[in-house]
Amino acid sequence: MRQLLSGTNQVTSLRSALGDSGHFSTGRVNARSSVLRFSVLCLFALLCWAKVNGQCKIAIDEYDEFDSTRLVATQPMNLGYLIVSGNVPEDLEGKEYVEEAKAIFSYSDEKNIRAFFLSLMVAERKFHMIDNDFNVYLKFKGGQIVALLNVPENGEFDREILMWKYLHTCVVPLEIFHLMKNDVVEKIRIDYKNYKKTIELEEKQQLALQRAVFCVEERLINDLKGVKP
């Protein structure tokens, strides 16, 4: 367990990949206009989401020769829908929308302890308690549901959007890693102590998450050190 938790020491780098201080981007939408499509604010708007074999986008690929640590992480992707933030505009004519969640898929090799991680940055309206436990679940299109060990950070209040942010760092075992390559994730469930959060992925998001898994694998396979999952 200690080795797995040590892999989460890369959270600072992962936060950088998620963006400045992990902030969610916001957008002002006029109440009289139609609801913005989710893809407008996606960080991957310039990518070809529909093609699983599209170009890989790696945000971090670091190797520290002094302590023999390796970190590979994809660019962040938006998951779920656009939700209304807690920031009510003064003119009351529009609303601010934020992404429901962001995710990155990563690989860490620290002192020959290798592990894959799924990191989720989630926006919540209220403060929730959550422990280190198997409290994050993935539901695949084929119907299978698996539990991931989650090592969360304490909730942080974002004054820009007036919502709580939670970073969930989940250990992805090898068998689930291969499952994520062979099937797409339809829903993600996070079990807080007093609340259950379900994130539904659109089809393009399902393919993007699956592609992220392939991207990390391809980077490791093509690495000169011959690291293979």
Dump pLDDT digits (tens) for 116-149.
999 999 999 999 999 999 999 999 999 999 999 9
pTM score of the predicted model: 0.74
DSSP character string of 120-163: EEEEESS-----SEEEEEEEETTS-EEEEEEEEPPPEEETTTTE
| 112 dihedral zone (left: phi>0; alpha: psi -120 to 50; beta) | left
Q: Which residues pair with 150 in a beta bridge?
A: 133, 170
pLDDT at 93: 56
Is pLDDT of 29 > 80?
Answer: no
Confidence of residue 222 (pLDDT cuts 50, 70, 90): confident
Confidence of residue 16 (pLDDT cuts 50, 70, 90): low
Give which of 125, 115, 148 is closest to 227, Cα–Cα. Answer: 115
Helix 203-221 with 174-182: angle, nearest 10 deg: 120
pLDDT at 209: 97
How many Cβ atoms sit within 10 Å of the Cβ of residue 54? 16
C-alpha 148/C-alpha 120 separation (Å) is 12
Is pLDDT of 47 > 70?
Answer: no
Residue with tokens 């980077």: 219
